[in-house]
Amino acid sequence: MTVPRFTLNDGYALPAIGLGTWAMSDDEAATAVAEGIRTGYRLIDTAASYGNEAGVGRGIAESGVLREELIVTSKLRGRDQGYEETLRAFETTRRDLGVEYVNLYLIHWPLPRQDKYVETWKAMIKLREDGLVRSIGVSNFTAEHLDRIIGETGVAPSVNQIELHPGFPQDEMRRVDAERGIVTQSWRPLGKGRLLDAPAVVEAAGFHGVSPAQVILRWLHQLGTVPIPKSADPQRQKENFDIFRFNLRQPEMERISAMAGGRLGGDPDTHEEF
Ligand SMILES: NC(=O)c1ccc[n+]([C@@H]2O[C@H](COP(=O)([O-])OP(=O)(O)OC[C@H]3O[C@@H](n4cnc5c(N)ncnc54)[C@H](OP(=O)(O)O)[C@@H]3O)[C@@H](O)[C@H]2O)c1
């Protein structure tokens, strides 16, 4: 199957779907990542705070797929924000993953109360200039956080990874990202599996002969975002990957967008993750 790709504002390509690894142990991540890559995933998402970068690295090495075909993403955790701290933390991430370079490195949360995200962003730029990271981005940044780092450095992130799922379609943040040339990635795309029995989703799944998870991931794709569903199960990994063979109709898109719900995770203005 051919997976569409987005072109980032730095010229690199990003596959339209990725594999999440949150809450996997090292051993689970090693197995799930190797299996996912064999299924066809080329974008892998981890973070220092998940504590599984070594396992993800093992999965990458064991997958049998060439390193240059993979987009390996990790994230800088809150306690490591700051210029020198970021450079040091990146070295740990690189060592744990066992890679020469990281494709996409994100600031995990803005943590506005500690107000270090601008100097942290300058260190991300340095990592890119030094060729250690291909693309730099952020996660959970609002318009205000984005405009501050862009205003102070002249460099826009390539990606903003934000919470986005039915019940929380993030119309405003998708517009904010698009206006700044930033690709939006969707975390918790399946609402941790809790959104799969919503009538709007189940009825669209019945019409198209696909699963509820496929409907949700397709909805995220048609919104122009890159979902990164997590599954440790080979069958569900395959299911989540297979979303490029059908099209949701406009009324289905609108009905899913209008589902009641809201945020399931932290508010970027107040959430503290160290
Ligand atoms: N940047 C951030 O702040 C941030 C925050 C949260 C998450 N993330 C990233 O986003 C990724 C995805 O978010 P998430 O893991 O929180 O939630 P999610 O992907 O919405 O849901 C994962 C859950 O759904 C289940 N599942 C997956 N596919 C399924 C299917 N086809 N049918 C039924 N159940 C299915 C999984 O179980 P099985 O494994 O058993 O299939 C797992 O329990 C994370 O893994 C992480 O990489 C980033």
pLDDT for res 109:
98
Q: 273 falls in which pLDDT band (50, 70, 90)? A: confident
Domain that holds residue 180: 5-193+225-233
pLDDT for res 274:
86
Return the percentage of the chain with pLDDT > 70, whole number. 100
Q: Report whether 108 belongs to an annotated binding site.
A: yes
Q: Which atom of ligand 1 is nearest to the CA of 191?
A: 20
Does residue 110 fall inside a structural domain? yes
Does residue 250 fall inside a structural domain? no
pLDDT at 30 over 90: yes
**Can you state the percent helix, strand and coil of the chain, rounding each to 5?**
45, 15, 40
Does residue 201 fall inside a structural domain? no
pLDDT at 1 over 80: no
Q: In this structure, what CATH number is given to the domain that contains residue 89? A: 3.20.20.100
Q: 190 falls in which pLDDT band (50, 70, 90)? A: very high
Q: Measuring CA to CA, which residue among 271, 273, 174, 176 is closest to residue 226?
A: 174
Q: 242 falls in which pLDDT band (50, 70, 90)? A: very high
Does residue 251 fall inside a structural domain? no
212-223 average pLDDT score: 98
Q: Which atom of ligand 1 is nearest to the CA of 24?
A: 45
Average pLDDT of the chain, as a whole number? 97
Dist. CA 229 → ligand 1 center (Å): 5
Dist. CA 258 → ligand 1 center (Å): 22
pLDDT for res 102:
98
171-178 average pLDDT score: 98
Count of H helices and E strands in the chain?
A: 10, 10
pLDDT at 49 over 90: yes
Q: Quick one: tokens of 200? A: 């709007």
| Cβ pair 75, 139 in contact under 8 A | yes
List beta partners, residue 102: 133
**Residue 97, Ramachandran bin (φ over 0: left; ψ between -120 and 50: alpha; else beta):** alpha
| Residue reference for tokens 């990281």 | 102
Number of domains comprising the chain: 1
pLDDT at 73 over 80: yes
Q: Which residues contact 258 (CB under 8 A, 6 or more apart)?
A: 200
Does residue 258 fall inside a structural domain? no
pLDDT for res 180:
98
Helix (H, G, I), strand (E, B) or coil at 117: helix
How many Å apart are CA 252 and CA 184, to the nearest integer? 21
| Residue reference for tokens 């019940």 | 167
- 196 burial via Cβ count (<10 Å: 0-12, 13-18, 19+): middle
Dist. CA 64 → ligand 1 center (Å): 24
Structure confidence by residue, pLDDT tens digits, 150-173: 999 999 999 999 999 999 999 999
Task: Please name the helix (run of DSSP H) or strand (run of DSSP E) that holds residue 183, with its range, or none.
Answer: strand 183-187
Q: Quick one: tokens of 272? A: 């503290």
Q: Which one of 76, 230, 235 would you pick to mutate in the ligand 1 pocket, going by the greatest count of ligand atoms within 8 A of its CB? A: 230
| Residue reference for tokens 């205003």 | 151
92-96 average pLDDT score: 98
Does residue 249 fall inside a structural domain? no
Does residue 124 fall inside a structural domain? yes
Structure confidence by residue, pLDDT tens digits, 115-137: 999 999 999 999 999 999 999 99
Catalytic residue among 50, 101, 105, 117: 50
Does residue 252 fall inside a structural domain? no
Is there a catalytic annotation at residue 83? no
Report which DSSP code applies to 138.
Answer: E
